[in-house]
Amino acid sequence: MKYYIRHQNAKQLRIKLPYRRLTEQEADVLYYGLTGQENVVSVSVFRRTAEAVIRFQKGAGSRILSYLDEMDLYDPEALEALPGVSARATNEEFKEKVVTKAMVQLGKRVLLPFPLRAAWAIYNGAPYIREGLKDLFRRDFSAEIIHATAIAASFATRDFNTASSIIFLTDVGEMLEEWTYKKSVDDLAQSLALNVTKVWKKMEDGSFEQYPIHEIEDGDLIRVGMGSLIPLDGVVVAGEAMVNQAALTGESILAEKRLESTVFAGTVLEEGELVIQVHATSGQTRYDRIVQLIEESESMVSVTQSRAQALVSRLIPYTFATSVVTGLLTGNLTKAASVLMVDFSCAIEVAMPIAVLSAMREAGRHQITVKGGKYLEKISEADTVIFDKTGTLTNATPVVEQVVALDGRDEDEMLALAACLEEHFPHSLANAVVKAAKEKGLEHEELHTSPNYIVAHGIVSSLNGERVVIGSSHFVLEDEGAYVSEEDREKILAMPTQYSRLYMAIGNRMAAVIGISDPIRAESIRLIQALKDSGIKHIVMMTGDSERTAAAIAEQAGITEYYSEVLPEDKARYVQEEKAKGRQVIMIGDGINDSPALSAADVGIAIKEGADIANEIADITLSGQEIEKVAMLRQMSRSLLERMNWTGRVGVAFNGAILLGGIAGLFMPGTAALLHNASTIGLCLNNMSNILPESEE
């Protein structure tokens, strides 16, 4: 790409492209291409002048120049990579609105004679007065009544310049508030956008052509190749493939898709090729519904915000009354109008939701999905945390810890034989055995006859004419009556009690016992300690596993209260009982059996690698590999609460000062409006910043 360097230093570069101005598309390619580069701190693209300013970390200048040399603003891959929601375009749109509004206001003041300025002010002020009267008749003491009264008071004193300033500053304030709010929503939505613009559609003659995704209709056939994102929900009508569904389900194992399999938008086809009949067009897919849920979730207003809104709603009539009293006592409508420019609600109704959206966006950058602002607040208030064990505190990936060979047999030979049997019927314990044999480099040729699987018991086969069985102690020792010598019995009893065990017998004599464990995550131990340090006194583990396994994991995790062999309804009942005691409960789990408890808790946190239904029901989802981030969420929650309280206090205090200044005659109505809007925008900008220090991100 051709460009000219206007200015360069160790941390900043200003370039000019050889165009009079950039198109939206060119500006987006330049902006998103540069922001995606390593060590780039910020990028500003000026479309009208075809310039850009790149700020970067020291030492990265030469690498950025090399990237610019190779850059192509019309590269098809770069165009495909553009996000569906352009933050740069949003910023430019609102900048243009504000600048245009300011230029029109200045032009009116300079160019129009007084009668025309007065007529313009009346024309623009009439809608405010009309809306204010509507609310007054409905006895809804809103900010619109206050604005309408201030404008009407200026008209009554024939101070049309002040009325025009009030209208201008109110409009600009609303634009800036909308700008900061939309930017927060865009940042959140962009992280989930699929950014697919075209798909391969099957034509009547059997060929495939590229079509814009918004033109695809329900029932159309589309082709998705290896390495591509599946753009729409549908059903497979041709082909076979392995699909990575981690984006939606958190499952790390590829899902096999073949004829009549359901596929979801947002998943990635890693092997093979599929022809899919579309069952949900753009805007209606499961992925889009998740995006919509996240975008709308800030409507679940937190308790803190609700209380603050109730307070400012009660303050509005007092503001109105103060204005009336000021006007009556001083006989000065200008002072009364200045008081009316104070709207306590803006800081609460605009800045607080932005704080919540920013916190949700920040959590999203840590791969944590929060489905509503109120859940962040509840985490800070929680005093009880209940953990599921398998897949939450542990990896849900069993590993072979010990092989005890019996009856004089060889340990490696027994592990190889067990793997040979188990590989035919893969389940979690069987996979652990096969993996252990593979890691030891053990070959296990098919010496046995075809094995038979007996549900809930084990496997039966034959080796060199002898019956071979592998499975539970009940199956091998009781049902099969396998013989075990006293010496071998002592070896079995000496095995650690927390291991799950696979028993194997050959020729009706015990041959081996394999000890298998589901090891605790190292992150879980650190998390439990971090939760205790944060003030949570009541930490509980509930599992369907045996007492000995539950006791071992609880001890390793540092949990003193645990319940073993519980059913799903037991978990949900326990959550409800804790809530009945007045406790604020967080439930953390990953399986279908955890879903009732996740739903019943004040905050349900699901492990993404777990069951789909648990992820759907939960209020928050995160990766089990990063379960420690629950502690980070608690810190974020507390910091969000502090920020929201601070926003409320500063908003009320600053606007209170403006009100007193208006009463004292220190501020004209236009100045009061300017100060009020400036305070609201300042709070919004502060609330758009990250909550956690950079060192903790």
Query: Do residues 359 and 184 make contact, with C-beta atoms less than 8 angstroms apart?
Result: no
- Of 251, 242, 201, 204, the closest CA to residue 222 belongs to 201
Residue 101 CA to residue 373 CA, distance in Å, equals 34
Whether pLDDT at 13 is above 70: yes
The topology (CATH level 3) of 198-288 is 2.70.150
Considering 26-30, 75-79, 190-194, 504-508, the range whose residues carry the highest mean pLDDT is 504-508
pLDDT of residue 410: 93
pLDDT of 695 over the 80 cut: no
pLDDT confidence bin for 328, thresholds 50/70/90: confident
Q: Is the dihedral of CA 678, 680, 684, 687 positive or negative?
A: positive
How many helices (DSSP H) and strands (DSSP E) are in the chain?
25, 24
Quote the CA–CA distance of 629 and 610 in Å, as a whole number: 17
Q: How confident is the model at residue 293 (pLDDT cuts 50, 70, 90)?
A: very low
**What is the CATH superfamily name and number for domain 355-394+520-637?**
HAD superfamily/HAD-like (3.40.50.1000)
Tokens of 238: 């041709």
Q: Which fold has domain 4-82?
A: Alpha-Beta Plaits (3.30.70)
Residue 511's pLDDT is what? 95
Q: Decide which of 3.40.1110.10, 3.90.105.10, 3.10.129.10, 3.40.630.30 is the CATH code for 399-517.
A: 3.40.1110.10
Q: Write the single-letter amino acid at 526.
A: R
| pLDDT tens column, 95-132 | 778 778 878 888 887 888 888 988 988 898 888 888 87
User: Exposed, middle or buried: residue 182 (CB in 10 Å: 0-12, 13-18, 19+)?
Assistant: middle
101 Cβ contact list (under 8 Å, min separation 6): 168, 171, 172, 175
In this structure, are strands 585-589 and 603-607 parallel, antiparallel, or unpaired?
parallel
Distance CA 514, CA 502 (A): 5
User: What are 681's two structure tokens?
Assistant: 């925008």
pLDDT at 553 over 50: yes
**pTM for this entry:** 0.56
Is residue 320 a contact partner of residue 146, using CB atoms and an 8 Å limit? yes
CA-based nearest residue to 477, from 433, 508, 516: 508
Q: For 400-442, how does the pLDDT look when each residue is reduced to its tens digit (9 = 90+)?
A: 999 999 999 999 999 999 998 888 766 667 888 989 998 998 8
Instruction: Quickly state the pLDDT bin for 290 (edges 50, 70, 90).
Output: very low
Confidence of residue 291 (pLDDT cuts 50, 70, 90): very low
CB 231, CB 222: distance < 8 Å: yes
Domain ranges of the chain: 4-82, 94-188+300-354+639-696, 198-288, 355-394+520-637, 399-517
Name every residue whose Cβ is closer than 8 Å to that of residue 8 and which is 6 or more positions away in sequence: 14, 61
What is the Cα–Cα distance from 250 to 30, expressed in whole angstroms? 33
Q: What is the mean pLDDT of the chain?
A: 80
Per-residue confidence (pLDDT) for residue 697, from 0 to 100: 44
Query: What is the per-residue pLDDT across 245-273, written as a single tens digit (0 to 9) for each?
Result: 654 544 445 678 989 888 887 777 877 88
The reply to whether domains 355-394+520-637 and 399-517 share a CATH topology is: no
User: How confident is the model at residue 538, as a pLDDT?
Assistant: 94
Whether the CB-CB separation of 383 and 537 falls below 8 Å is answered with yes
Amino acid at 309: Q
Per the DSSP assignment, residues forming a β-bridge with 262 are 235
- Higher-confidence residue of 267 and 496: namely 496
Greater pLDDT, 248 or 650: 650
Tokens found for residue 226: 């290896």
Residue of 629, 394, 404 whose CA lies nearest to 530 = 629
CB 90 within 8 A of CB 186: yes
46 DSSP β-pair partners: 51
The per-residue pLDDT for 250 is 40
